[in-house]
């Protein structure tokens, strides 16, 4: 029984760590998104001032090395954010499973067997 309580506490600690990671990765994702959009806007304005046909401006700008790098950084930050969110969901599920084991052990008087009353 003590093992289950210890396991649950460890899972809660992992959950709190992952929540902090989610905050950090979310903030980084937002910053990278803003940098990418600003750089893209500037590149589009530069191309428009050169008289580049509007139909190809988007492709030209997104193909520039500096813009592509900013988009890559944004996409990587998004992937980390989503992975952290999924880790939180998995930890919550594990906590629920341990809680169910604790409840089952408690109801069975420590034998771990469920009650069929």
* Average pLDDT for 78-93: 97
Q: Domain containing 78: what range? A: 2-107
Is residue 60 situated within a structural domain? Answer: yes
Query: Distance (Å, rounded) from C-alpha 84 to C-alpha 15?
Result: 10
Is residue 12 situated within a structural domain? Answer: yes
Which residue in 77, 79, 49, 74 sits closest to 62, CA to CA? 74
Q: What is the pLDDT of residue 117?
A: 45
Is residue 115 situated within a structural domain? Answer: no
Is residue 65 situated within a structural domain? Answer: yes
Phi, psi of 64 (to 5 degrees): -65, 140
Q: What secondary structure letter does DSSP report for 109?
A: T
- pLDDT tens for 22-54 read 999 999 999 999 999 999 999 999 999 999 999
Is residue 90 situated within a structural domain? Answer: yes
Of the pLDDT bands very low, low, confident and very high (cuts 50, 70, 90), residue 17 is very high
Q: What is the pLDDT of residue 116?
A: 46
Which residue in 83, 92, 88 sits closest to 18, CA to CA? 88
Q: What is the pLDDT of residue 107?
A: 81
* Average pLDDT for 96-113: 81
Is residue 45 situated within a structural domain? Answer: yes
Q: What total number of domains does the chain contain? A: 1
Is residue 100 situated within a structural domain? Answer: yes
46, containing H or E segment: helix 2-50
């Amino acid at each position: 029984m003590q093992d289950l309580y210890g396991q649950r506490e460890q899972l809660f600690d992992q959950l709190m760590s992952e929540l902090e990671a989610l905050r950090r990765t979310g903030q980084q994702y937002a910053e990278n998104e803003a940098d990418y959009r600003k750089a893209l806007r500037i590149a589009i304005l530069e191309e428009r001032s050169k008289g580049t046909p509007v139909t190809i401006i988007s492709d030209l700008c997104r193909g520039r090395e500096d813009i592509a790098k900013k988009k890559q950084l944004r996409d990587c930050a998004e992937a980390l954010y989503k992975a952290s969110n999924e880790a939180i969901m998995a930890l919550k599920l594990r906590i629920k499973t341990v809680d169910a084991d604790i409840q089952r052990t408690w109801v069975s008087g420590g034998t771990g067997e469920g009650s069929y009353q």
